[in-house]
Chain A
Amino acid sequence: MGKLILNEWTKLFRRIGTWVMFGIVILMVIGMGTYLKYDESNHPPQENLNWKQDLTVQLENDRTSLEEVGQNNANLRTFYERQIAIKEYQIENELSPETGQNVWSFIGEAMGAIGFIGVFTIIIAAGIVSNEFSWGTVKLLLIRPMKRTRILLAKYLTVLLFGISMLSATFLIAAVIGFALFGLPEQAIPHLAYVDGQVVERSLFMQLIGEYLLGSIDVLMLATMAFMISAVFRNSSLAIGLSLFLMFMGGTVTMIVASKYEWAKYILFANTDLSVYFDGVPLVDGMTLGFSIFILFLYFALFQFLAFFVFAKRDVTA
């Protein structure tokens, strides 16, 4: 399998387009850093001396909201309980909210690049099978002593590897740029997580990695879908078009549907943002982390089944 992945990787990186994709993402992170630095020098951050009072006011509001909406919406109740617990913890432990940029906050900002990573990963996923058909090379690829499914698996793993590389590259570049431009925070800041009704301090570094991974779930699902379309229909334009359309519109459409119908919770895009279970509110009342993971798994399995089943069976007429 390693050799097959090496083959796919070679085919990707011997083409200029792939390097351009990396270039764009890196330039974006650099551009973002430059802009934020420029912005910061124009409006220097001021330490908020009244942060405790401000938080107390916010706490009051949160408590009222909890009284009002918390009764009949379990998800909102959890949300406000979490907000309140974390703010109380901050006041108790003198953890003032950081005002200026630092390397960690910049890595967080750089998550904006995940959209681009998504577009590029979808383009790669859409082409990795169908290109072989349009180039005619599939005829030489599939007459080797290995099962078609093995070759397809190598291609899928290569797409994953590509996405992960882009994500890691973004994270690393953001860390380097963030450190160079903004430096470390004045004091080490932990991430405050709310687990089983308790506020616990977590490593911010690990938290950021987690956020990057959670933020990539829709990319993973859409790339898997693009890969499936590419393997089934052998047409990269269709795969790219449909997947990008869903990437940009899927969330909005799901939101509109969700405002009217409860079944919206079965739509893929209602479940791709798992971060709502950690610091937000899920789209439809009563949705749980387990439910979303289960739905994601179902879609994933469906895409993979279609891709592998059809690819292994269909005649190659390219």
Chain B
Amino acid sequence: MKEVLRLDHVKKVIKGKKIIDDLSFSVREGEIFGFLGPNGAGKTTTIRMIVGLMKISEGDIVIAGKSIKKDFTKAIGQVGAIVENPEMYKFLTGYQNLLQYARMHEGITKEKIAEIVELVGLTDRIHEKVKSYSLGMRQRLGLAQCLLHDPKLLILDEPTNGLDPAGIREIRDHLRLLTRERGMSVIVSSHLLSEMELMCDRIAIIQNGKLIDVQTVNEFVQNRTATYQIETGSLGDAAFWLKSEWNIVMSKEGFTVETERENIPLLIRNLAAAGVDVFGVKTISKTLEDRFLEVTNK
């Protein structure tokens, strides 16, 4: 598959501090790519470099074959982006805002604007001042602004921030539609993982400016050990070796342990030998959230 975006050993140093350290990954045509990391991981900084708002200290970023460093105008012409919040001119109407951006690209017709406004569902309110818009509507206007020039790559920085579940669902549906129908590629950043699971095809995890892992969502959820909830009576002295050998976490009913399935019988035998009453064993299905914490806590 063709790649739409490639980061090549990208580094960013601000005031002697390494914010982004040797980041490389690529985004393929037509995929929704999740960019995941806790707050302060460097997601926004990376996005700022991709769209040329920040200079790249070392390395290069290539969008649709053009380097953002050497060929800024050609590269950025293929990108639609919202960096952090979708801040628009509040004293203009939604339509006047879109006109501002339409004038900065070649050949965007009135019909095109109307089509995009329809797509994001703002037709009824587009001639009202942005001041009066809810966050969800601003988010939609932000999306419209990205789509005017039919970019190959859409970049949304934490688009679900502050939205209610319905708004989040709406964004998700939009992105699916755009990738399927228009063949766009999308990068979505987030620190919320439950969202990514439903939205993305592949996910990159960054922490402290470093790439930890890139995986497809399926690999991500499958490739794992499981957590088991063991319901027990009092542990007594057994708590010591359980903690040191099995790395258990105490809970109300007993403890949880994270291990492979094959190890469970051994654990039960050991517990029985130590005289601990076992009332039940339960598998807790692990969410992406847990998996994420697991990866970032390494």
A residues near B (Cβ < 8 Å) are: 3-4, 6-7, 10-11, 14-15, 135-137, 139-140, 142-147, 313, 315-317
A144 touches B89 (CB 8 A): no
The answer to whether residues A10 and B96 also contact, given A4-B103, A147-B73 and a CB cut-off of 8 A, is: yes
B53 touches A315 (CB 8 A): yes
Bound Cα distance A306, B48 (Å):
24
Contact among A135, A136, A137, A316 with B48 in the assembled complex (CB-CB below 8 Å): A316
Q: Which residue of B lies closest to A6 (CB)?
A: B103
Instruction: Type the 1/0 row for B29-63, where 1 means its CB is closer than 8 Å to any CB of A.
Output: 00000000000000000001001111100000000
B53 touches A7 (CB 8 A): no
B79 touches A143 (CB 8 A): yes
B89 touches A139 (CB 8 A): no
B105 touches A14 (CB 8 A): no
CB neighbors of A among B145-201 (8 A): 145
B126 CB → nearest A CB, Å: 16
Residues of B within 8 A of A313 (CB): 55
B53 touches A142 (CB 8 A): yes
Interface flag for B120 (CB, 8 Å): no
Interface flag for B72 (CB, 8 Å): yes
Residues of A within 8 A of B1 (CB): none
B88 touches A7 (CB 8 A): no
B104 touches A3 (CB 8 A): yes
Residues of A within 8 A of B77 (CB): 145
Interface flag for B240 (CB, 8 Å): no
A143 touches B52 (CB 8 A): yes
Q: Which 8 A-B pairs have the closest CB atoms?
A: A136-B87, A145-B77, A144-B104, A316-B53, A3-B103, A315-B54, A145-B73, A139-B83
B87 touches A137 (CB 8 A): yes
Interface flag for B92 (CB, 8 Å): yes
Residues of A within 8 A of B96 (CB): 10, 14
Residues of B within 8 A of A136 (CB): 84-85, 87
Q: Which residue of B lies closest to A2 (CB)?
A: B103
Bound Cα distance A144, B105 (Å):
7
A17 CB → nearest B CB, Å: 10
Instruction: Type the 1/0 row for B71-110, where 1 means its CB is closer than 8 Å to any CB of A.
Output: 0111011010111110111111000100111011110000
B91 touches A140 (CB 8 A): no
The answer to whether residues A316 and B54 also contact, given A4-B103, A7-B100 and a CB cut-off of 8 A, is: yes
B48 touches A145 (CB 8 A): no
Q: Which residue of A lies closest to B44 (CB)?
A: A317
B52 touches A139 (CB 8 A): no
B101 touches A146 (CB 8 A): no
Residues of A within 8 A of B87 (CB): 135-137, 139-140
Residues of A within 8 A of B84 (CB): 136, 139
A135 CB → nearest B CB, Å: 6
The answer to whether residues A135 and B89 also contact, given A7-B100, A143-B53, A143-B81 and a CB cut-off of 8 A, is: yes
Contact among A14, A146, A317 with B104 in the assembled complex (CB-CB below 8 Å): A146
B146 CB → nearest A CB, Å: 9
A144 touches B76 (CB 8 A): yes
Residues of A within 8 A of B79 (CB): 143
Residues of B within 8 A of A144 (CB): 76, 101, 104-105
A212 CB → nearest B CB, Å: 31
B10 CB → nearest A CB, Å: 14
Bound Cα distance A200, B92 (Å):
53
The answer to whether residues A137 and B88 also contact, given A143-B76, A145-B74, A147-B72 and a CB cut-off of 8 A, is: yes
Bound Cα distance A7, B103 (Å):
8
A140 touches B145 (CB 8 A): yes
Chosen A-B contacts, 13 in total, with CB atoms closer than 8 Å, are: A10-B92, A15-B91, A135-B87, A140-B82, A140-B88, A140-B145, A142-B53, A143-B76, A144-B104, A145-B74, A145-B77, A145-B106, A315-B53
B142 CB → nearest A CB, Å: 8
16 more A-B contacts (CB under 8 A) besides A11-B100, A135-B89, A135-B90? A3-B104, A7-B103, A10-B100, A11-B92, A14-B92, A137-B87, A137-B88, A139-B53, A140-B87, A142-B52, A143-B79, A143-B81, A146-B73, A315-B48, A315-B54, A317-B54
Bound Cα distance A317, B96 (Å):
25
Bound Cα distance A250, B55 (Å):
38
Residues of B within 8 A of A317 (CB): 48, 54
The answer to whether residues A145 and B91 also contact, given A6-B103, A316-B53, A316-B54 and a CB cut-off of 8 A, is: no
Residues of A within 8 A of B73 (CB): 145-147
CB neighbors of A among B244-272 (8 A): none
Q: Which residue of B lies closest to A139 (CB)?
A: B83
Residues of A within 8 A of B83 (CB): 139, 143
A96 CB → nearest B CB, Å: 55
Bound Cα distance A313, B53 (Å):
10
Bound Cα distance A7, B101 (Å):
9
Bound Cα distance A84, B133 (Å):
70
CB neighbors of A among B90-140 (8 A): 90-92, 96, 99-101, 103-106
Bound Cα distance A15, B90 (Å):
10
Contact among B54, B82, B104, B145 with A145 in the assembled complex (CB-CB below 8 Å): B104
Bound Cα distance A275, B74 (Å):
49
Bound Cα distance A317, B74 (Å):
23
Q: Which residue of B lies closest to A16 (CB)?
A: B91
Bound Cα distance A89, B263 (Å):
115
Bound Cα distance A223, B258 (Å):
67
A4 touches B89 (CB 8 A): no
